[in-house]
Amino acid sequence: MTALVTGSAGGIGSAIVGKLRQEGFEVKELDLVNGFDVSDPRAWEHIGSVDLACLNAGVITGESEIATLSDQQYRRAVGVNVDGVVFGVRRLDRVMPRGSTIIVTASLAGLTAIPDDPIYGLTKHAVVGFVRSVAPQLAERGIRIQAVCPGWADTALTTNGFRHDLTERGFRLLQPHEVVEGVWAAYKSEGTGEAWIVQPGRDPLVYEFKGVPGPR
């Protein structure tokens, strides 16, 4: 079995790589530190078929105030968090075999408000919506796609100041291995287009979206 993991050098990414290798996968690591830019569509054209793809690369802006958000912060977040998923899924849909799976690392910020970083929230809402919307057409070609939505995790994204602020406000940070449990649960599920919540002290569970009211 073969797999790829984007953002593989980070805390969650390296934990995913470790889990997949433990489960017998041959894993290709894709990260900016080894020259792979998920936001570059040309980079994806060199990616071949795998049985499992974990699209995990992600960044925060670190900016809570929209008035002081820079163009660079905004474009980088959208490029990595949204373009990196869309370009990845587009390429993988072209090359993956039937029976394969794509797991996208989204966030609880894609299911609820996140005043600490509204642009991060924007990108993760986009990712969750994309996964749910693209799932039916991928299913027609025998490919499943799932989103994993963890709360804040204790990784390099949560800088010391932000980590301290979160803990002072009563947040319990996830450890990377706990997020991996959600990734594995989403992979083992028979569903597609699901959003798997990962919270400290809970088993991973599928988020239940309420349907919107129909016309009168």
CATH number at residue 47: 3.40.50.720
pLDDT at 158: 56
Residues 156 and 206 sit within 8 Å (Cβ to Cβ): no
Query: What is the reported pLDDT for 152?
Result: 80
Active site residue: 74, 120, 187, 207, which one? 120
Q: How far apart are CA 169 and CA 164, in angstroms?
A: 9
Domain assignment present for 213: no
Cα angle 176, 201, 52; round to 5: 40
E-strand ranges in the chain read 2-6, 26-30, 52-55, 101-105, 144-150, 195-198, 205-206
Is the entire prediction scored with pTM above 0.85? yes
pLDDT tens for 2-19 read 999 999 999 999 999 999
Rounded distance between C-alpha atoms, residue 109 and residue 47, angstroms: 29
Residue 212 lies in a domain: no
The number of domains in the chain is: 1
Residue 93 lies inside a defined structural domain of this protein: yes
- What pLDDT is recorded for position 139? 98
Q: According to the model, what pLDDT value does residue 28 have?
A: 98
Q: Which domain holds residue 195?
A: 2-206
Residue 215 lies in a domain: no
What is the model's pLDDT at position 173? 81
**Both structure tokens of 138:** 């991928």
CA terminus-to-terminus distance, the chain: 50
Q: Which residues of the chain have pLDDT under 50?
A: none
Annotation says 187 is catalytic: no
Say if 21 falls within a structural domain.
yes
